[in-house]
């Protein structure tokens, strides 16, 4: 099925699926015990399945709007969020240290990984040679 992600247009079925998923996530926020949540999820799915075969697009659109309104009315005040998702407690907390940090390792630490640091020194020399070839020598008196 072809979609148009550039324009942000969604088909009716995509909107219904989005509503269903948001309603399930809302149920997760309310019910912390798995068996109670699953029971409520089955009831929710049954409500969606009742209108799955609706052919009249006007009535289907009205049902979608009513579902959106109902979800808005019963939404949880503090919704559950995944830790790594936007709004979660660990969102964008992964810190990738820059490469220059390895230059400040103690020689005894570097001695534990001799092949890696040997290759790293070779690559640093190659990078400096490539830089000087492309941009020229750096002025020692202008550098701070």
d(CA 48, CA 19): 10
Confidence (pTM)? 0.61
The answer to whether 60 and 51 have CB atoms below 8 angstroms apart is yes
pLDDT at 108: 96
Average confidence (pLDDT) per 10 residues, the chain, 144 residues: 67 95 95 94 96 92 96 94 89 89 95 96 95 85 59
User: Would you report the helix, strand and coil content of the chain in percent, each value rounded to 5?
Assistant: 60, 0, 40
d(CA 16, CA 48): 9
d(CA 139, CA 68): 64
The answer to whether 24 and 41 have CB atoms below 8 angstroms apart is yes
pLDDT at 144: 56
pLDDT at 3: 56
């Amino acid at each position: 099925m072809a979609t148009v992600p550039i324009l942000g247009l969604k088909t009716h079925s995509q909107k219904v699926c989005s509503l269903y998923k948001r309603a399930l996530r809302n149920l997760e926020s309310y019910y912390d015990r798995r068996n109670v949540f699953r029971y409520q999820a089955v009831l929710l799915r049954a409500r969606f399945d009742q209108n799955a075969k609706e052919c009249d697009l006007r009535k289907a659109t009205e049902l979608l709007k009513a579902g959106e309104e109902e979800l808005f009315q019963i939404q949880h005040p503090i919704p559950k969020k995944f830790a790594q998702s936007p709004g979660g407690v660990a969102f964008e907390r992964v810190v990738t240290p820059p490469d220059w940090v390895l230059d400040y390792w103690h020689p005894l630490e570097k001695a534990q990984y001799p092949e890696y640091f040997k290759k790293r020194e070779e690559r640093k020399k190659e990078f400096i040679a490539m830089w000087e070839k492309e941009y020229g020598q750096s002025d020692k008196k202008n550098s701070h």
